[in-house]
């Protein structure tokens, strides 16, 4: 099964097309949908005391809920990419390359030192 980003984007484009929902998928609406779903993801951790990944992984229901909300975020990102003809895989690759240069070893060490002060 090809589950590459481009294939998943195409599958979502077909899902939207079959339902004639493209007219609602303006960039602004999709940006809001991405934000709302991101907040639903955040809500899964509301009132927790910043548990480590290993702790979260022990809670199957929580992991399922996180998986569900994460998928919602990504699906609406596919929608945005489709509406604006953005090659999402290429955009991710470019951003990762940009981050590779932006966060060199020295910069990363400085950022980590700052973050450690807040732990
Ligand atoms: Mg959701």
Calculate mean pLDDT across residues 71-99: 97
Give the Å distance between the CA of 69 and the centre of ligand 1.
5
Q: How high is the pLDDT of residue 119?
A: 78
When pLDDT is cut at 50, 70 and 90, the band that residue 72 belongs to is very high
Q: How high is the pLDDT of residue 2?
A: 80
Give the max Cα distance, the chain: 52
Q: How high is the pLDDT of residue 4?
A: 93
Give the Å distance between the CA of 86 and the centre of ligand 1.
23
pTM surpassing 0.75?
yes
- The tens digit of pLDDT for each residue in 23-40 reads 999 999 999 999 999 999
Give the Å distance between the CA of 88 and the centre of ligand 1.
21
Q: How high is the pLDDT of residue 25?
A: 97
All residues at 6 or more sequence positions from 103 whose CB lies less than 8 Å from its CB, including other chains: 111
Give the Å distance between the CA of 73 and the centre of ligand 1.
8
């Amino acid at each position: 099964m090809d589950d590459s980003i481009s294939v998943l984007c195409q599958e979502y484009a077909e899902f939207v097309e079959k339902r004639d929902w493209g007219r609602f998928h303006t960039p602004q609406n999709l940006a809001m949908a991405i934000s709302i779903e991101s907040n639903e993801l955040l809500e899964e951790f509301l009132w927790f005391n910043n548990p480590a990944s290993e702790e979260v992984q022990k809670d199957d229901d929580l992991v399922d809920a996180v998986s569900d909300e994460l998928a919602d975020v990504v699906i609406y990102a596919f929608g945005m990419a489709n509406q604006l003809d953005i090659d999402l895989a290429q955009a991710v690759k470019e951003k990762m390359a940009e981050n590779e240069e932006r966060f060199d070893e020295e910069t990363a060490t400085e950022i980590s030192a700052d973050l450690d002060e807040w732990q």
